[in-house]
Structures are given as C-alpha cells and as structure tokens.
Amino acid sequence: MRRSCFLGIDIGSVSVKCVIADENGRIVYDVYSKTKGRPISELLSILETCWKNCPDIDICGIAATGSGKSLAEESLNAETENEIICHAKGTTSLYPEVRTIIEIGGQDSKLILLEHSEETPHRIEIKDFAMNELCAAGTGAFLDEQSCRLGISIEDFASVALEATAPAHIAGRCAVFAKTDMIHLQQKGTPIPEILLGVAYSMARNYLSNLVRGRTLQPVISFQGGTASNRALKKAFCDLLLLNEEDLIAPEHFKTMGAYGAALLAHEKGPSTSISTLAGIITLLSRKQSIRYADHKDSFYPPLCRNADDNAKSLIPSHVDGCEIISREAGVFVGIDIGSVSEKIVAINSHGEILYSDYRYSHGKVLEQLLEMVKEFSDKGFGNNVLGMGVTGSGRYLGAKVLGADLITNEISAQVSGTRHLIPGCDTIIEIGGQDAKLITLEGDTRLDFEMNRLCAAGTGSFLQEHALRLRIDLEHDFSELALRSRSPVRLGNKCTVFMESDLVHYMQKGYPIEDLLAGLSYAVAGNFLDRVAQHKPFGKLISFQGGVAANHAVRSAFESLLKKPVYVSDWHKVIGALGMALLAREAYQRKEYLTSGYKPQTIENIKEVRAFQCAGCSNNCYVRQLSVNGSNVFFGGVCGKYERDSVEEKTRKTMKAEELQHGLASTELLEKIDKLFHESPAVLTEEPVSSIGLPRGLLFYEYYPLWNSFFTRAGFRVIPSQQTTRQLLERGMSRVTAETCLPMKVYYGHVLDLIEKGIDTIFVPEHINIPTWEPGDPSVEHCPYIQSVPEFATTAFGTKIVTQTLSNGYDIDGYETKLTSLAHKLLPEKSFLDTALKPFIQGFKLKECYQQAVEDFKRLREARYALGTKFLESRGRNDTVYVVFGKPYTLYDPELNMHLFKKMRALGMDALPADLIESPTGEEPEPHPEMHWYYNCKMLREAACVNNDPRLFPIILTNYGCGPDPASFRYLQNALMDKPILVIEIDEHTADAGILTRLEAFNDDVMNTSDGGAQVPWPAKGLFPRLRQKGMKKYIYPIFPNTHTSSHRF
C-alpha cells in the first residue's frame, strides 16, 4: 500500500537537506549532505537514495526553503517558504517547550525568539528574529576552515578541543582576524586543543555580538544546524550565556529542522493537484539538471589566457640555473622564512649560488616542521659548514630563538634582497603568501615604497586553499587547469573574503560550471590585491610575481589581464624570502657583524620541550612553552616577555639602557610619568563622601579624567574609575553591543559593565559635543558621532545607574561649568529642610568654585605633560630619530587597545613619543581647515605641522578599523606632513602582532636608510593645507585606509 507524504527541501549555501513527512507529521526519512559546489546534482543523488529506501511513497506536496530554494522552485515547481518560519515551525512541532532557537548553518546563522500567542495561548509565535548580515565568521564554514587549517577533521574537532584546560583568545568579530590570531598562536606554540576551544568560543562570541546584541534568551534553547553536534561549541554557549546543560538542547533532527518545517507547511497547504512519485520527481530533475540557470544580467571577465611561452615568463639567472651542489666545505649561508602557512629554507655559497632549497606546509605544527626541515638540511651534509643563518617571516622570532640564528629581518627587506639578486631589473614585486600580500616598488638601489594587506586575507593563498577545499578541487594540480578552460569567468566581489564567498555561493546555486567559478576566484584574488593592497598605484615594467600563490597559472593570467602587462614568475618564487635572508646573512658576515654562526647542527638533536603552561601573571593568560636548547631554557609565547631571557634580548636591553643613560629619559619612562601625572589628583576628600560616581575608562576618559576627578572629588563624591582594559573585559562588553561600532566603543561597553558589577551608585557617561571654550583650538569642532552618542548606546544596553549630561560650549560662555555643576547639584543629597531651601544658593556657589579649581588643576596637568614632551625632545640630538605616534588618547594611552605598541617599538630600538605631548610654538598655530570638523583629527593636524618642521621626527599613525573620521581626514594629514614617510597601523580586536612588527621594522629600515630625513618646511602663510603640485615630488604612504587611493589624484 502506498503512503501519501510531503517533501521538504532546504538548499543552503554548503548543504542540501531533505525531509519526507507523512500525513501525521511524522518524519519518514531525512538526509543531510554537502553540496560540493553542485547543489542540483547533490539533490538528485539524495532523492535517488530516498527512492531506494522508500519506494512506496507518493509525494502530495513539495515546499523548499533556504538560500537556494529558487532552484527547487524552478526544477520541481515547489512552493517556497521563508527559512525563519520553517525552522520555527519544525522546532515547535517537535519541542513545544523551546523559547529560543540558535541556528548556525554553513554560511548563515539565525536567532529566533518564540512566545505564546495572545489570541491562542497554546500556539507558539515568532516574537523576534535576527540573521547574520554578510559575515560568515560565526558559521559552520568558518568552523570547517579553521579545523582544516589545523589539520583536524571536523568530526574530531570537539573531542580535541575539550582536552583544553582553557580557551586561547581568538578574535570573534571576523573570520580573517580569527585566522590571524590562530597563526600567531601556532607560531608561539600554543597547544592545538587550546586553539580549537578558542575557535569555538570566538564563534559563540561572534554570534552573541552580531545577533543577540543584548537580547535576553529564554530557555529552553534549541541549538540546531550543522554545527549543533559540536560539543565544544555547545560548551562555549553554555559558559557565555551562563546556562545549565539542560537549558541548551540539540534536537534529534538538528541538521534538517528547516526542511522538516517546509514539509509541515506543504502539508498545511494540502495536496497539490499533481501527485507524483519519487521516481517521477527524479526524472523531472534529471531533465533539468543540465540546464544552466544563468541570468542575462550576469557579467563576466575575459577568459584567462593560457601562456604559450611559459618558459619566457620564468626569470632564472644563468648563474643560478642548474647550479650543482659544490664547495660545501667552503661554507654556506642559510636563510629561513617561517610564514603563516609554510616554511622555507635556502642555502647559498659565498657567490650567491643556490645550493639547497626546501618548501613545506606547517599544518599548524610550526616548530615541529621547522626542526624537521632543518634536520633534513643538516642530513644532506650542509649542517657542519654554516657560516651564517638569517630568519624572516611572521615566525622569525621563534625560529631565531630555537636555532641560534645570527640575523632577524622583516620579510619586506628579505623579499627585496632576494628579488634584486635573482632579477636585477625588477621594479615591482607582487608577493602573495598564505595569509598576507605585499606590493613593493623598487627604483635603482632603493626601496621606493611598500604596501601590505592590513587585516584581510581575501587575496591570499589561504583564501584560495579554503575555496578549493569547499569545491573539492586539488589546488596544486587541478585548479589552474580547470580555471584556464573557462569561457565565462564569473565576477566575484574583490573587496572582502566574505563577499566573495557570498557571490560564489550565488553562482553555485545558479548552476555555473566549476571552471567559471575557479576562473572567477583567480580574478577575485588579483582584483583584491590591486584594489586593497596596491590601491591602484602604478606598476612598473618588470613585474615579478612571487610567493606560494605565484605557482597558480590562473592567478598570474588574471593579473596580466587586469594590468595589461606581462607578469613574470621565477622558478624560485616560493623561496625568494628565504634566499634574501641567506644573502643578508652573507652581507652581515662580510661586514664582520659576527665571526662565527650561532647555529650548531647538534642543536636540533638537543631541543626538548620541558613544559607548556598558562601564565597567571595578568589577565592575558598567555600560553608559554619552555624548551631546553642545548641545556639552556628558551621560552616563547608570552606578550610581555616576562620569561624570555636570551642573549639577543639581553644585548637589546643593554643597548637601550645605554641610550637611556645618554638621553636621560626613555620613551617608556616618559609614558610612566605621564600615567602617574594623569592619575594623581590634587583634590582630596575632606569628609565622608556623599556617594560614589563611576567613570568608565574609555573614550574621553583619557582626556578629561583629571578634570572630572578633581571636580567630583571636590564636590564630595568618591570617584571610582573602571578597571584597566583587558581581553576579558572587551569580550564581555562585546556581548552587550547593540550595533556594530569601532573597537574603542566596544571596550567602553565593557567598562560600563565593570562599574555596574562593582555596585557603584552612579555611572557618569557624558554626551560630549565640543571642547570647553578655555581649551586651545577651534571651539566649533565636534567629537565624532560615536562619542556624541555614547549615552544612548550605554542606556540602551544597560539602562540602570547611568547618568548623562550634554557637554557643549553652545549654551553659554562655559557650557561645561553649567552642565557639570547642574549634574552634581542633582546628585548631592539633601540633609534637612533648611538644606533644601538653601541648596540652590550655597551649593551652587560652592560647585562653581569646585569647577574653577578643577579647571586650574587640568591646565596645570596639561602644562606638565607638554613640559615632559619638550624635555624628551631636547634630550635628543640632531642626528637622532624619534617616531611620533599620532592617534586619539584612548588608543595612545590604553596598552590593550594599542597592542602594547610603545613596548614593541622600544624592543625594536625605536624611540617613540605620543604626538599630543608636542606643543605648538606660540604664534605658530595653524589656521583651522574649513572641511575638517572632528576635534581629534584637527588636533593631529596641528601636531603634524610641528613634526614636519623637525627633521628628527617621523610620523606613525595609529587608528582603529571602522573609524569614520580618520579616512576622511587622512589626505589633509598627508599634506601637512609634506615629504615625510608615513606608517599607518590599524588595529581591531585581533591579537596577532606579527604584522605590526613587520611594518614597524620595515618602516624603521626605510627611515634609517633615508639620508636627508625630513625637510624643514615653514608654516604656510595662508592655511596649512595647500594643494601640492611640485614636479617630481614623491609621496611615501605606508599601509593606507581602504578609500585613501580615491584622493591620490591630489598628489
């Protein structure tokens, strides 16, 4: 006897789900399968399997949901249903006690809040819902990619992760930042279980930040979607939401709940007019499988060109080509490049001829692969004749410690050295590795300019690797061959890896052949590099493409198509950085910078891991590995360097100590003095405080805390600032964020939450519009919209105990006095009837006096700060170099927000000074710019003029991802700094610092190689920002903001 059933189909971004339910709503058959880039083929395979298992079924109705539901609609005439409704329908039918649904699929995630219907109490309705917008960081695809990166199957992810004692910190807002953090942790030797558990927690935090946004989640919570089987992820949600295990359930059919809901909705609509068998549905789908669902509106790139003259495109100098292993006894120089996903080694003789090379993937085991690679090098007979060794790459410090290397250099300098040796006439380098990309332009013997990808890995090797994996394509052997067959390469977005993934899924679901998708990916990588890294800068005549991605002929062809120029690839393209390090080690040896190499071959045999532990010295909770190298302890993995005590660092400390004795005041000592001045208050409580008032340690706290502290203390309050910024505070604050903002705003949430938990009576969150009239500068300029709106953000997220006041100079001569005294007047208690009657008169006068005294305290502090800055600069000689760091005070003076930038610079021997400690000389205040409306950006422009006038000073600009005013004002800052080279460092919540160190080292190299420093330029007679049109003028702009290139025509 045949059974009447209903078919529900859910076609998602990476999987297809099918459920067959009978007339009573019982599930007869359900299945989940990955699409592998071919959703229709996979759906057909599923239905064929279903027919074999259930041959006696008649399908009375079909409903489809998911992002690819239109495919089922076109192929099977299925009804389409909204996936939010389908998930709610399926879940409430099986689990009526559920009040919240957390659904995380392959590329999207959903939050669904349920409640009883007011009209029909027994019925459950959707109260609210949210979906991820564009980012796939908190989805199953992200989990798959990261487990694959670490060489762990997704099935084993949870069991390995749950071996961890605590999760490593990994940024959760963005998949790219998470990858960066993971690589950094691997290179520091953090155990794999800790990293995996950190991935799970970062994914849960991302979900809470992007979807929950402060909402209250009522249990029982149903966790469904493909990721719900991951016990590590379930643990993360329970910990972050403070839930018991029974409050968060994973239903039996967690993978197919959406398809089940679709089947139920098809049942509710009743049988269709044409009842079909599964065999009939399969026949119909087979006929339409070969149809290409292309839209005439789709646009395509030109087909990729298969180069007939591949040999002509490979530049191999004759003195390197075919070189045999000779003169080992004469000694070799070794270069090692420890990158984000691979490790390389090159050995050369004294003539620069390559004698040996090796390239291998690290697979998350950086140290193990390094030791194995060097051991194999030694086994080939080279180990006993090493004259010098240099290490570069993002893992260079780890490698140098373990191997006893003689030289450590950033990868920019290493790439330049190797390229000049192989290709003397090269004027442009495109280098794309596993996680980073670089553009380097050369002119003669000087490095003219360089750019690096700032945070995004969209145009890198890991991006290609992940998509090849998703499409089940062998990257090294099949990718290029298939891509070069394409006749219509699809256009994918080239701005962001997430947008590219979304476009790729879109084309997959429309049925485009795999060749067109791969060719589109090749164009996307090249386009992303040109737009996001090169920023449309001109390319030279001889372009060398190097790095691991250069092996991909399709990507090279895409570059040639977009640039309209030939792009050359050396046979040594994968190891040019390592070659450059070997050459630099040879040069250092010839300059007698060292006499014998610190590398000893027996070192490899005598490296043992002593222990791995989590430091509890501060809130960073760093994972530290202790190795025994030839009997000496080597530590790595910490942020502060508490355990690291090797000879190189000891020499660095001695050198810096000598410089401090010579100069009298070191940069770190200067910052300590500034911090002490900042927190010292001349006001003291003379009697028992009337109440406590909390000040969140964020945003304008770092500017006006001395003023607020002095005023409220004198008024009789106990002033309590929140704790110092920590990673834990940031993560807890992000869970309460109600809208996507910049990082300093997210940190502010954490500080408000900290004060609430401390039980403070009142939390002062001001609405800061302008600066006080007694402050220097234009009183009409305003603070950024986030600073102006922070009370609304905080009140929405927390509500309780928050008091605010609009601080603006637009009310009277000093609006600050009016508003602050008015607020204090309201907060002070009334002790008696007489006190109530006299309060407006006596207290009003007293509060005004308190305010005036606080202003004087604040001005004295500012003068003391300027005095320290002046003393610092006066102690530097004419030939000294000082790096002036521009930024807002809440990033300059918060070590967690600037990733301990000043400590890093000190360790690199870079003398640094915050820009706001430089006072403009009297009478040289520049005219305000009519197009610049933001206070801190105007202030930076005034400071830039002072920097430009002093040839010792070089600017570093510190900013945060998502800051609106900074990109808009950057062109004016460029003009103000005239011919000075500029380094921009952009920071978000990721914690990896390898990219920052590389930029600092490369920038320092360039400045040190600049013979004439900066030109002394007087203040312009009319305005600070003239249009610069001098013939031959070159602008040196290091990693810039995304849209800065749009103003390049001004230069």
Could you read off the pLDDT of 7-22 as tens digits, one per residue?
999 998 788 999 999 9
876-1050 classified as CATH 1.10.1060: no
Q: Which is the CATH superfamily of the domain at 1-95+251-291?
A: ATPase, nucleotide binding domain (3.30.420.40)
The CATH 3.40.50 portion of the chain extends over 876-1050
Q: Mean pLDDT throughout 493-497?
A: 60
Q: Mean pLDDT throughout 658-674?
A: 71
- Decide: 286 and 44 in contact? Cβ < 8 Å: yes
Give the Cα separation of 115 and 216 in Å (integer): 13
Identify the pLDDT of residue 751. 93
At residue 54's C-alpha, the angle toward residues 49 and 59, to 5°, is: 100
Share of the chain above pLDDT 90, in %: 25
Picking from 663, 706, 709, 668, the residue whose alpha carbon sits closest to that of residue 689 is 709
The CATH number of the structural domain formed by 332-423+576-605 is 3.30.420.40
Q: Which residue has the higher pLDDT, 166 or 317?
A: 166
Q: Mean pLDDT throughout 813-827?
A: 78
Q: Mean pLDDT throughout 559-568?
A: 92
Amino acid at 612: A
Identify the pLDDT of residue 642. 58
User: What distance lies between CA 724 and its chain's CA centroid?
Assistant: 22
Identify the pLDDT of residue 654. 46
Give the Cα separation of 643 and 637 in Å (integer): 9
Identify the pLDDT of residue 490. 87
Beta bridge partners of 442: 447
Identify the pLDDT of residue 578. 95
Q: Mean pLDDT throughout 1014-1018?
A: 37
Identify the pLDDT of residue 324. 43
What is the DSSP code string of 109-176? EEEEEEEE-SSSTTSEEEEEEEE--S--TTSHHHHHHHHHHTT--TTTHHHHHTT-SSPPP---S-HH
Q: Which residue has the higher pLDDT, 470 or 520?
A: 520
Confidence band for 136, pLDDT divided at 50, 70 and 90: low
- Describe the chain by its helix, strand, coil percentages, rounded to 5: 45, 20, 40
Give the Cα separation of 832 and 639 in Å (integer): 56
The CATH number of the structural domain formed by 106-248 is 3.30.420.40
Identify the pLDDT of residue 844. 67
- CA torsion sign for 54, 60, 64, 69 is positive
Q: Mean pLDDT throughout 342-353?
A: 92
- Asked if the peptide bond before residue 220 counts as cis, ω within 30 degrees of 0, the response is yes
Candidate CATH numbers 3.20.20.80, 3.20.20.370, 3.30.420.40, 3.90.1150.10; the one for domain 450-566:
3.30.420.40
- pLDDT above 90: residue 194: no
Give the Cα separation of 208 and 227 in Å (integer): 16
For 165, 184, 341, 656, the CA distances from 149, given in Å and listed in that order, are: 22, 13, 9, 39
pTM: 0.74
The CATH 3.30.420.40 portion of the chain extends over 1-95+251-291, 106-248, 332-423+576-605, 450-566
Give the Cα separation of 307 and 313 in Å (integer): 9
Identify the pLDDT of residue 333. 94
Beta bridge partners of 452: 438
Give the Cα separation of 30 and 12 in Å (integer): 15
Picking from 907, 882, 402, the residue whose alpha carbon sits closest to that of residue 651 is 907
Confidence band for 299, pLDDT divided at 50, 70 and 90: low
What is the DSSP code string of 458-479? TTSHHHHHHHHHHTT--TTTTH
Give the Cα separation of 777 and 938 in Å (integer): 8
- Decide: 364 and 150 in contact? Cβ < 8 Å: yes
Q: Which residue has the higher pLDDT, 922 or 551?
A: 551
- pLDDT above 60: residue 318: no
Q: Share the mean pLDDT of the chain.
A: 79
Q: Mean pLDDT throughout 191-210?
A: 86
At residue 627's C-alpha, the angle toward residues 625 and 631, to 5°, is: 155
